[in-house]
Amino acid sequence: MTITNILYTSGSPYVSRIQIAEDFKISMSSVDNRIKELVGEIKSGRYNELAVIKDGGFVFVNYLALIDYLSNRQRLRNKNLRKTVPPYEPKKVAQEIGWYKI
């Protein structure tokens, strides 16, 4: 077997506010609200400090943390149901969305 072509793909795990709004078809105010909620989860210890990067006017969100937050948002916002949310595992989230395969 001879390898004649190698394809290399790469990308950033971070997305901008505009990209989030386009991908999920939500308004910018909804994006800003979700980012505020995600920052609250960073403060509570669910996600690490690199889940949201802010520098001046730039805001970038870790896509895996965002997907995990959005999929568990309703339970995380309820203090009783919060206990039923499994811990954040980026590798598991990446597998579920098709970024990573074992």
Q: What is the pTM of this model?
A: 0.83
d(CA 6, CA 45): 40
Identify the pLDDT of residue 49: 94
* Confidence (pLDDT) at 37: 96
**Contact 79/72 with Cβ under 8 angstroms?**
no
- pLDDT tens across 15-35, in order? 999 999 999 999 999 999 999
Span 60-90, pLDDT tens digits: 999 999 999 999 999 999 999 999 999 999 9
Residue 54, SS3?
strand
pLDDT of residue 57: 84
pLDDT at 99: 78
Indicate the domain borders of the chain. Answer: 14-96
